[in-house]
Amino acid sequence: MITLVIPCRNEYGTISDIMNFAVKLPGVKQILVIDGNSSDGTLHKAQEICKELKQGTDIKIDVLEQQNRGKWDAVLLGIKSAENKYISIWDADLTVSFSEQALIHERFISSLRHRGVPCLAMGERMTQREPGSMRFFNLLGNLVFAKIWSLMCKTEIKDMLCGSKVFESSVLNRVPSKILQNDPYGDFSIVLASVLSDYSIETQTLTYRARTYGQTNILRWSGAYALLKVSLLSLPYLRSKNVDRMV
């Protein structure tokens, strides 16, 4: 029922572990590893692990090569290639552990089982973090954008930028192309789509872990500028939605 998308770029040290964990996640029927032009052998390693895993599971597993750049472009490639309507994103750096990613899946599945509707299930990293897991200005930016979007959406969101999310892919049809094209990571587009679709936002508090391999691919300042632009572009749509709620 869920297609798991694993975007990765230069994650040779963790790609084997995350792929082996991925087949054990609740609800996952397809795994798509999207390699973004890695230079450290991640692609070759992922292809090797893919062949090994296919021999012992009925889950469909494929490794795709990203032609363009950027995490959101990689995720969109995964969504286009997905065979299931529900999408999970799990970053290959393993800063979100398997057990906590599994809890995010469980929240999403519980919403389907008990309420009959999907939600946006996402991680929240602001409460518990290992030393060195997030640089100061990244932390500050996360807190600022969480506050901005909480006010815009009229609901509390503690962490807008946690990569771990499970959602229904069709909600993205509600998001204008100009927002999708300007969003560098996709997190804001997914939240916007869920709010416009009247889906609840279920958050799972997790311990954000420090990297054990490589360096972050996040561009701090240019990324922050792009996120501010996406926020401003999203504001009119959320205003209209809030007016509709009051009416």
* CATH code of residue 64: 3.90.550.10
Counting other chains too, the contacts that 111-119 makes at CB distance below 8 Å and 24 or more residues apart are 111/200, 111/202, 117/199, 118/86, 118/167, 118/168, 118/199, 119/167, 119/194, 119/199, 119/200, 119/201, 119/202
pLDDT digit string (tens) for 135-183? 888 888 899 999 999 999 999 999 999 999 999 999 999 999 999 999 9
Which residues constitute the domain of residue 117? 2-246
- How many domains, in total, are found in the chain? 1
pLDDT digit string (tens) for 37-53? 999 999 999 999 999 99
